[in-house]
Amino acid sequence: MIHLIDYSSLPPKEQETAYPFVRQLYEAAFPPEERRSQEDLQHALLHPDCHLSLVREETEATGFLGFLISWELSPTLTFIEHFAILPECRNRQLGSTILKLLTEQVTNAEACMLLEAEPPLTEIARRRIGFYERAGFEIIDTEYLQPSYHLGGAAVPLYLLAFNAQGTNLIEMIRLLYKRVYQTAFPRLP
């Protein structure tokens, strides 16, 4: 059985091994333009609305298998900023299991969950979008720009996907996402 464990609930000794694991997988799984610097990541994880969860099987002997960084943008809006599973643990339904756990919570709460994905320009990007769509997410914005994580860097064109987005205001969701996660103003006019 797969579990999501909140980083802050780990004993201090486990936190000492968990963060380097997250940092190494984070750097391996995401291109530089889609990730924070080490200092910025540590700062973001201190924010009370940012949550780091670790993926682990029921037995602790296996260690961590992945991580998820999410933001509670409002009582009804969650943003998955980064989600990664170790390469050797992929294709075992771990990601699907985690997304099912998360989306069940959203469905029960009648809330919405957002995430970003690369446009389907490569086979891996197409498969990733398909993975999220099978989990119940749908593409809600194909012209979305992720603000740069780096001072003076360019925005990154991504797709914005949502789970349970019926009746939500896309512009307001993106404004909140930009303000809380990226700490920048939303550039498009409503």
Average pLDDT (174-180) is 94
Judged against a pLDDT cut of 90, whether residue 125 lies above it is answered with yes
Least confident of 56-65, 97-106, 160-169: 56-65
Quickly tell me which residue has 């307001």 as its tokens: 172
Average pLDDT (63-84) is 94
Average pLDDT (59-86) is 89
Judged against a pLDDT cut of 70, whether residue 109 lies above it is answered with no
Residues 82, 63: Cα–Cα separation, whole Å: 19
Query: Which among 48, 80, 78 has a CA at the least distance from the CA of 158?
Result: 80
Residues 136, 174: Cα–Cα separation, whole Å: 20
- Find out whether 182 and 188 touch, Cβ atoms under 8 Å: no
- Find out whether 182 and 147 touch, Cβ atoms under 8 Å: yes
Look up the pTM and report it.
0.92
Please report which confidence band the pLDDT of residue 108 belongs to, taking 50, 70 and 90 as the band edges. Answer: low
Token reading at 71: 């933001």
- pLDDT at site 62: 62
The percentage of residues in the chain with a pLDDT greater than 90, rounded to a whole number, is: 69
